[in-house]
Amino acid sequence: MTLPFTVRRLSAAEIPSHLDALCDVLIDCVEGGASVSFMLPISREKAREFWLNVAQSAARDERIVLAALGADGSVVGTVQLILSQPENQPHRADVSKLLVHRRARRGGIAQALMEMLENEAQKAGKTVLVLDTSTGSDAERFYSRHQWQRVGVIPHYALMPDGESCGTTLFFKHL
């Protein structure tokens, strides 16, 4: 059964009001095995610190934060577009932290978040998007299905939340 949701941009000022739900999504994804820069056990304080730093970065216009809100208004998914790039790459942005709570998966939330992210990137004048994801993951298959171009794999690039080594697959997309 698909849960009703809406996708919208969160302003830097709004992030603190959604902090608990954003922390819930991050913690759920890490506990579910997502390789998104955090190790187990992930504390609520670490998740909170992360989102407060994201809010500060958004306030400096370095990134755009999108959220999928469930029928009750709580965040069930999120993704970030990192706008701040070196001066010789003003046309490029990075995609970061596409996260969907496990209870809300398989309902089109990730696809809706990425569609809005691409629209926001175009509005910001970005024509090339870049991301990386753990090799062999559901996320890797998701990006392949949605017309992202696979660049290659870097073996032993990072650690999974449980400490196991994993490769990362690099992708790009021209808008």
pLDDT of residue 3: 78
**Token pair recorded at residue 155:** 């073996």
Q: What pLDDT, on a 0 to 100 scale, did the predictor assign at position 73?
A: 96
The predicted pLDDT at position 135 comes to: 98
Mean pLDDT of 145-166: 98
Nearest-10 Cα torsion for 163, 166, 157, 79? -90
pLDDT at 130 over 60: yes
For residues 147-173, give the mean pLDDT: 98
* Predicted pLDDT at 30: 99
- Beta strand pairing status for 128-134 and 92-100? parallel
Distance, CA of 129 to CA of 66 (rounded, Å): 16
Report the mean per-residue pLDDT for the chain: 98
Q: Taking 90 as the threshold, does the pLDDT of residue 128 lie above it?
A: yes
Confidence grade of residue 89 (pLDDT, cut at 50, 70, 90): very high
Indicate the class that CATH gives domain 5-174. Answer: alpha beta
**What is the pLDDT averaged over residues 39-53?**
99
Single out the residue of 175, 137, 168, 126 nearest to residue 151, CA to CA: 168
Q: What is the pTM of this model?
A: 0.97
Domain ranges of the chain: 5-174
